[in-house]
Structure 1
Amino acid sequence: MGKKTQFMLPVENMDLSSAKYEEETIQAPHLSGVALRVFVWLIELPHIGSLVTSFFKRKNGITRELQETLIPEAPMFRPEFPPQELEPGTFSMEEESAPITRVESAMKCLPPYNPANRSPPFLYWTIRDFAHAYLSGLSTPSVVAECIISELDEFNNKNPTMPFLISFHADDVRNQAAASTQRFQEGRPLSILDGIFMCVKDDIDCYPHPTKGATTWFHKVRPVKEDAVCVSRLRSCGVILLGKANMHELGLGVSGNNPNYGTARNPHALDRYTGGSSSGPAALVAAGLCSAAVGTDGGGSIRIPSSLCGIVGLKTTYGRTNMEGSLVDGGTMEIIGPLAATVEDVMLVSACSVSSLFTVYDRKPFLEVLVVLSILYAAMLGSSPADKFNLKPQPPPSLPMLSSGNSLDDLGSLRLGKYTEWFNDVYSTDISDKCDDVLNLLQKTYASQITEIVIPELHEMKTSHMVAIGSETLYSMNPYCLDESGKQCTHDTRASLAFFRSFSASDYVGAGCLRRRMMYYFMEIFKRVDVIVTPTTGVTAPVIPPKSFKYGETDYQVQDYLMRFVVAANLLGLPAISVPVGHDKQGLPIGIQLIGRPWAEATILRLAFIIEELTLESRKRPSTFYDVLKVN
C-alpha cells in the first residue's frame, strides 16, 4: 500500500457515539455570465479539463475518499433493505388494484370533510374543496379552466415573465375540462380527482406534449408516444393535465435556473429561486394554479422546491412508484412523487373516493388541510415488475388512518431522531430555530420522544450520492448525446456533465462501498428511532442573479446548503417528506424534513399531518397567488 492509503474500520466495529461532526465549505467558484462560459470551455478541453476536475476533487476531499481509502465493505449499487415490520395504525392497499379503487381506499383514511367549518388562516383550496364545488354546482371544471388559462396568459405578458410551463395547449385543457364537467352534470365523476388540475414535470411523459427535460433538443431524439405509467394512472382518475412544467435542465441542478425557457420565479418573492429541479411544479402549486403536481426527486428535487415555495413534497421509498415513461427510468436514486399545497392532497394524488367524501362532521378544520398529498400518493402508487422482484420482501403500500382519533394518540410513542450538530448547520438560524420550535411543540402537545442520534461519514455520503447519480445520469444520457447534442445544453449542465465524466469505474465501486456503510448506519439508527428529523434545506430561497438569466449559474456553496439534508433519502432509497413550518425574517418559507424507515410512508405522512396542524397559523400565502376557484 502507498503512504497515502487510509483504512476505514468495518462498520460493525464503528462506535457511532464517538463520531465527530465536521463542518465544511465547498471549494468551488461561483460563476455566471462570461466567467461561466470560459470555465465550461476549459473543463471540456481534453487534457486541461481533466486537470481542472482533478484539482477540485482533491480540494474537496473526493479523491481521498474514493482513491486513497480502503473501504472494507462490499459495494451496494441499489438500495437493499432488511425486512421491515408493518406500520401500526395504517390501512394497507392492494397495489394491483385500479387507481380509482386505491383512491377510494385513501378517502376512507381521511378525516370527515366540512366545507362550512373553515377557520383562518385560509391558504389553499384543497382537492376536496374543488370536488365539493363541482358536486354542489358552485363551479365547474370548465369555469376553473378558463380562469387558469387567463392567469397563465397573464404570466406570459408579465415583465419579467413567469415561465411556469414549457408546454401548454389551452384547447387541450378546455377539452379535458369539458369532458369532466359533463361527467359531473351526468352524476358520474370518475373519482375525487375528477376535474382536479395538475401539471407534470418536463422529464415525465405526458402525451401529446413533448418531453424536453427543459432542453431545446431532447424531444427531437426521444419522441413521446404515450403517457408515463404514473400519468396514465392519474388520467384514469379524471385528473386534468395542464401540461409540462418548467425545471432545471435535465434535472442537473437544484436552483431551478433555466436560460432556455426562463427561470421560474418563487411566488413568495419574484426575485428568488423556486428551487429545483422541480421548479415549475412547485411554483404552480404555490401560486394556486394547480392543486398538485408530479415531479421527480434524485437529489431532493421534489423536497427542495417544496420547502422554498412553502408547500408539501413527498419522496417515496425507492421502488414504490413506477418510473416507466420518465427520463430517469432505470436509475437507483430517483423517484416520481407528488407536490401539493397540503399533506391531505399528497395522500389523495395517491387514491380517491366520491361516495363517502362529503359527509359533514364537526371536526377541526386543520384535519382537512393535510390529505391531498396522500391522495396523490395513492393514485400514483405501484412499483414496476422488476422492482417487485428485486426489492422483496416489499410490504403493501399503506396510508395513516387520519379519520381515527387513535392516529393522534400514537404520536406519544413515536421516537424522533435529531442529530443536533447536523440539524444546526444552516446558513441562517431562522431555519434551525423554526424547526426546533416544531419539535418542542410535538413534545409539549403529544409527548413525542426526541432522541439524540449521530450519523458518521456525512461527507462520504454526499460523495457517494454524487458519483452514483452522476454515473447513472451519464449512462441514461449517452445514447442521446453521441452526435454532440450535449453541446446544446446550458453551461451549468455542461459543467455538471464534464465533472461526472471525470469519475472512473473504480470511483463508482468505491461509492457503492460507501453506500453500504451508510445503509448500515441508518438501519442501526432506525433501531432506536422511528423518524429522523432535519430542516429540509440549509438556506431559504436564494436571490436570482441577473447575470444568470442568459447563461445560467454555478454556485456550489449554495447548492450544498440546499442539498445538505436531502441526499440521504435518495442514496439509501428511504421515504422522506418536506412540510412547511413557517417563514424566516425575510418572509421566505422554511420546511422541515421527515425521513422514515424503508416503506414507512404512512408514518411520515401521519407525523406530517400533525406538524401541518401545529404550524398552520405561522404559514402565509405567497404574495403571488391566484384564486382559481372563487367560491365563498
Structure 2
Amino acid sequence: MEESLELSNSKKNNEESTVHHDVTRRLKAPYLSGIPLRIMIFMLDYVPGMASFFFWNAGLKALRKLSFEDHPTIFPLPLPKEAFRIEETTVIDGLEIFEKQKDSRPKNYSSGLLGTSDFHEAYLAKRVTPLQVCEALLLKIEETLDVTKCNPPLNAIFKYQRDDIIAQATASTERYANDCSLGLLDGIPIAVKDEVDVKGYETNAGTKFINHGNPAKDDATIIERLKEKGAIIVGKTAMHEIGFGITNNNPFVCTPRNPYNVNHYPGGSSGGSGAAVASGLCPIAIGCDGGGSIRIPSSFCGIYGLKTTCGRFSAYGEFAVSGPMAANVDDLALSYYVMAGKDPKDPHSLHQPLPTLHGLYFTNTLSDLKIGVYSAWNKQVDNPAITLALNTYINELKLRGAKIIEIKIPELEEVRLAHLLTIGTELTNTAKRYHHKLHLFSCPTRTNFNLMKLVTASDYITSQQIRTRIMHTLADLFNNQVNLILTPTTAITAPKVHSRSLSFGEIDATITSDTMRFIQLANFSGVPAVSVPAGYDDNNLPIGLQFIAKWYDEATLLRIAKTSEEILGNGRRKPSDKLWFGNYVRKVSENFFGESQVSKL
C-alpha cells in the first residue's frame, strides 16, 4: 500500500504538468482514400517533416508536455498482487454449471441465433450428426465467398480446409455414435481469426506475405484446448491488415461485410469473426483484442465479445491476445472457461488465479453490484440511439437492484494518447521483421508506420508511466467504489463502406477516434471487458454496451452479460434472410430442434 500512496503523491505533485481532460478528445481530420491517399503516402515516404505535421496535430505535442515520477509499467499485469488486491479464486464453478442449469434455462429461438446447446442436444438425440452439419456448412461458406450467390461476398470465413474439417467432423460423429461425447463443445463449428495458429493453416495476419508458404506446425494453446473438447475448427476469418485498423477494410486480402447491412463494415480487426457469428455460420469465433478488436466488431455485428484480463489466456501461438466472440452468453462463458488458465509456454499466464464461472446465472437480483458510470464521458456519442440504449439498460439494472454510482476517471485523454503510441509502436516493431517487404503493406498501414517512426524512447516511457497511473486509478475504483464500469462500446454504429476505398484502403481519423473512445482504457490497463448487444439504431445497425471489471473478474462480466441478454430478450434480431446463413442446419435435418420445439429460422 505504500506504493499506492507514493503514486498518489506523485499525481498530486505533477498536477500542473498533466493535461487533465475530463473526457477524450475527438480527432478531426479529412477522409482520405484512392488517389489522395496514395499521394499522401508518397509524401510521407519522401517529404521530410510531413509525418511530424500529422502526428503532432494528433496529440504527440500534448504528450511531450507531460512529466511524471511514476515508474513505467511495460506489461499490464497487476503485480505485485497485494498492491492490487488480487486474491485466489475461492469458489470454482466450471463446466458443470451448464449441466446444472440446462433444464431451467429458458429457450429462446426468436432470434434464430443457434448456440452450442442446440447443436449438442441435436447430436445427442441423433437428429443430426456433426459430419452432416459440417458438410452443409462447407457449402454455405462457399456460398458466402461466391460473388454470383452473395454479392458482395460476406468474406467472413475466407479460408478453410475441407479434408481437415471432414476428418474432425467424422471423429466427432463417431464419438456421439458410441455415446462418448467430449461435452458441450464436441462437434461445434468454431472459426479462428487469422493471427492465431491453427495447425496446417498459414497465419497470415491479414496479409498476403506473412508466413506465406509456411503453415503452422502446432496449434496455439487456446486452439489445442478447444480441440481437446471436440470443437471443430472450420477455418480462418478475415481481419484488418496486421490488426492495424478498426473497420476491417483490407484491400489486399478481402474486406468482410456486416451481415446487418453489407454496405457497412463489421468492425475490426476481428471483423471476419464478428461476421461469421452474426451471419449464423458458427456459434463461436475467436478474435484478438489489442485495441478493441474483439469488442468493436462484436458491437457493430450485434454479438457478445469478451476481452479477457491480460495474461488470462495463453499467448502462445498468437500475434495478439485472443478472446471469444459468440451468439449468446452461455457460449461466450463456455469457450472462455475452456481456453482460460495457466500455460507454461506463456510465463505471463502463470500469475492468474483460477478461472471460474461462479455467479453466471445470478441474474434475478443485482443488489450486490455497484456499477460506475462516468456521465460526461458516456455522453460523447455520435448517435442518439446509443444514449437511449444506455439509459434503458441503466434503468433495467436499477430495477434488478444494482446501485448506479457516478464516477470520474481522470486522464482519459492521456490514456488515449499513450495507448495509441504503445500499440502503434508494438505493431510497427512487429512489422520490422518484414522490413524488406514493407512496400507490400497497404497505404493506410504504411501511413501508420511512418507516423510511428516519430515516437521516441522518451515518448514510450512516458506512455508506460501513464499506464502505471491508470492501473492504480482503476485499482482504487474497483477496490473501494464499484464492481463494474458501464459505457457504450463505441460512440457510433457500424460505418459505411466507401467503394473507392476497397482498392487501396482509407484513412478516417474521426471514425477511428469515435470507434475507440471507450475501448482503449481496458486494453491499456489490462482489465477485462465485455461488449453486449443492446438494441439497434434507426438504420437497423446493432448497438453495443461495454462493461469493464477488475483484473481476473471475468465471472462478474459474464454474469452482467447474462443479465443484459435477459434485458434485451425478444428485442434481439437476426440479419435479413439474404445475409442469414444459419439455416444450413435445416437443410440437414428439418427436425433439428425436435418435434416439441418451434424454430423461427
Q: Same fold (TM over 0.5)?
A: yes
Map 1:71-86 to 2 at 5 A.
Answer: 71-81=68-78, 82-84=83-85, 86=87
State the distance in 1 between where 2:584 and 2:488 align.
31
Question: What are the Cα deviations for residues 417-472 of structure 1, in whole angstroms up to 9, with x where unaligned?
Answer: 0000111100111102101110110101x121000011111111011101111222
Aligned to 2:257: 265
**Does the 8 A contact of 2:342 with 2:350 survive in 1?**
no
Q: Does 1:400 align with 2:358?
A: yes
User: Given residue 494 of structure 2, which amino acid in structure 1 is its aligned partner?
Assistant: A
**SS in structure 2 of the partner of residue 108 of structure 1:** helix
Aligned to 1:236: 228
**SS in structure 2 of the partner of residue 195 of structure 1:** coil
Q: CA-atom RMSD, angstroms?
A: 2.3
Match among 61, 64, 67 for residue 63 of structure 1 = 61
**Does the 8 A contact of 1:205 with 1:325 survive in 2?**
yes
User: Given residue 556 of structure 2, which amino acid in structure 1 is its aligned partner?
Assistant: T
Aligned to 1:600: 553
**SS in structure 2 of the partner of residue 277 of structure 1:** coil
Identity, % of aligned positions = 35
Aligned to 1:208: 200
State the distance in 2 between where 1:110 and 1:433 align.
36
Q: Which moved more, 1:18-27 or 1:525-534?
A: 18-27
**SS in structure 2 of the partner of residue 55 of structure 1:** helix
State the distance in 1 between where 2:145 and 2:450 align.
34
State the distance in 1 between where 2:435 and 2:538 align.
49
**Does the 8 A contact of 2:222 with 2:339 survive in 1?**
yes
**Does the 8 A contact of 1:74 with 1:516 survive in 2?**
yes
**Does the 8 A contact of 2:531 with 2:545 survive in 1?**
yes
TM-score by length of 2: 0.90
Aligned to 1:10: 10
**Does the 8 A contact of 1:9 with 1:72 survive in 2?**
no
Match among 488, 512, 536 for residue 464 of structure 2 = 512
**Does the 8 A contact of 2:26 with 2:514 survive in 1?**
no
State the distance in 1 between where 2:348 and 2:143 align.
49
State the distance in 2 between where 1:482 and 1:19 align.
38
Question: What are the Cα deviations for residues 46-104 of structure 1, in whole angstroms up to 9, with x where unaligned?
Answer: x52xx122212322332221x2322232211112423435599x7426xxxxxxxxxxx
Aligned to 2:168: 176
Q: Does 1:316 align with 2:314?
A: no
**Does the 8 A contact of 1:36 with 1:553 survive in 2?**
yes
User: Given residue 515 of structure 2, which amino acid in structure 1 is its aligned partner?
Assistant: L
The CA deviation at 1:603 is 0.8
Match among 359, 368, 371 for residue 413 of structure 1 = 368
**Does the 8 A contact of 1:190 with 1:237 survive in 2?**
yes
Question: What are the Cα deviations for residues 317-369 of structure 1, in whole angstroms up to 9, with x where unaligned?
Answer: 000100111123xxxxxx21000001100xxxxxxxxxxxxxxxxxxxxxxxx
**Per the alignment, do residues 524 and 211 of structure 1 end up closer, same or farther by CA in structure 2, a change over 3 Å counting?**
same
State the distance in 2 between where 1:127 and 1:91 align.
25
Aligned to 1:151: 140
Aligned to 1:367: none
State the distance in 2 between where 1:216 and 1:280 align.
16
Q: Does 1:340 align with 2:326?
A: yes
State the distance in 1 between where 2:367 and 2:221 align.
38
State the distance in 1 between where 2:372 and 2:360 align.
23
Map 1:29-178 to 2 at 5 A.
Answer: 29-45=30-46, 48=48, 51-65=49-63, 67-81=64-78, 82-84=83-85, 86=87, 91-92=91-92, 105-108=94-97, 112-114=101-103, 118-119=107-108, 121-157=110-146, 158-178=150-170
- Between the two proteins, the alignment pairs up a number of residues equal to 568
**Per the alignment, do residues 283 and 213 of structure 1 end up closer, same or farther by CA in structure 2, a change over 3 Å counting?**
same
Match among 178, 201, 218 for residue 186 of structure 1 = 178
State the distance in 1 between where 2:462 and 2:216 align.
36
**Does the 8 A contact of 1:400 with 1:605 survive in 2?**
no
State the distance in 2 between where 1:506 and 1:222 align.
37
Q: Does 1:625 align with 2:577?
A: no
Q: Which moved more, 1:426-435 or 1:167-176?
A: 167-176
Residue ranges of structure 1 left out of the alignment (5+ in a row): 1-7, 94-104, 329-334, 346-372
Aligned to 1:433: 388
**SS in structure 2 of the partner of residue 578 of structure 1:** strand
**Does the 8 A contact of 1:110 with 1:402 survive in 2?**
no
State the distance in 1 between where 2:62 and 2:111 align.
52
**SS in structure 2 of the partner of residue 181 of structure 1:** helix
**SS in structure 2 of the partner of residue 122 of structure 1:** coil
State the distance in 1 between where 2:126 and 2:153 align.
35
Question: What are the Cα deviations for residues 241-270 of structure 1, in whole angstroms up to 9, with x where unaligned?
Answer: 111110001000010111122210000111
The CA deviation at 1:147 is 1.6
State the distance in 2 between where 1:389 and 1:205 align.
19
The CA deviation at 1:391 is 6.9
Aligned to 2:4: none
**Per the alignment, do residues 566 and 478 of structure 1 end up closer, same or farther by CA in structure 2, a change over 3 Å counting?**
same
**Does the 8 A contact of 1:84 with 1:598 survive in 2?**
no
**SS in structure 1 of the partner of residue 50 of structure 2:** helix
Aligned to 2:340: 381
The CA deviation at 1:491 is 1.3
Residue ranges of structure 2 left out of the alignment (5+ in a row): 1-7, 587-591, 594-601
State the distance in 1 between where 2:342 and 2:416 align.
27
Q: Does 1:559 align with 2:512?
A: yes
User: Given residue 363 of structure 2, which amino acid in structure 1 is its aligned partner?
Assistant: L
**Does the 8 A contact of 2:284 with 2:325 survive in 1?**
yes
**SS in structure 2 of the partner of residue 547 of structure 1:** helix
**Does the 8 A contact of 1:87 with 1:600 survive in 2?**
no
**Does the 8 A contact of 1:164 with 1:246 survive in 2?**
yes
**Does the 8 A contact of 2:200 with 2:215 survive in 1?**
no
State the distance in 2 between where 1:377 and 1:287 align.
21
**Per the alignment, do residues 22 and 567 of structure 1 end up closer, same or farther by CA in structure 2, a change over 3 Å counting?**
closer
**Does the 8 A contact of 1:536 with 1:593 survive in 2?**
yes
**SS in structure 1 of the partner of residue 372 of structure 2:** strand
Question: What are the Cα deviations for residues 32-52 of structure 1, in whole angstroms up to 9, with x where unaligned?
Answer: 11111111111122x52xx12
The CA deviation at 1:26 is 1.1
User: Given residue 434 of structure 1, which amino acid in structure 2 is its aligned partner?
Assistant: A
**Does the 8 A contact of 2:270 with 2:294 survive in 1?**
yes
Match among 433, 439, 442 for residue 397 of structure 2 = 442
State the distance in 2 between where 1:34 and 1:313 align.
36
**Does the 8 A contact of 2:374 with 2:408 survive in 1?**
yes
State the distance in 1 between where 2:34 and 2:549 align.
41
**Does the 8 A contact of 1:31 with 1:555 survive in 2?**
yes
**Does the 8 A contact of 1:430 with 1:585 survive in 2?**
yes
State the distance in 2 between where 1:595 and 1:434 align.
17
Map 1:489-504 to 2 at 5 A.
Answer: 489-504=441-456
**SS in structure 2 of the partner of residue 401 of structure 1:** coil
**Does the 8 A contact of 2:186 with 2:231 survive in 1?**
yes
State the distance in 1 between where 2:137 and 2:514 align.
34
**Per the alignment, do residues 146 and 477 of structure 1 end up closer, same or farther by CA in structure 2, a change over 3 Å counting?**
same
Match among 464, 477, 486 for residue 431 of structure 2 = 477
**Does the 8 A contact of 1:286 with 1:311 survive in 2?**
yes
**Does the 8 A contact of 2:343 with 2:349 survive in 1?**
no
**SS in structure 1 of the partner of residue 255 of structure 2:** coil
User: Given residue 74 of structure 1, which amino acid in structure 2 is its aligned partner?
Assistant: H
The CA deviation at 1:122 is 3.4
State the distance in 1 between where 2:350 and 2:435 align.
33
**Per the alignment, do residues 449 and 557 of structure 1 end up closer, same or farther by CA in structure 2, a change over 3 Å counting?**
same
User: Given residue 584 of structure 1, which amino acid in structure 2 is its aligned partner?
Assistant: D
Match among 472, 481, 487 for residue 528 of structure 1 = 481
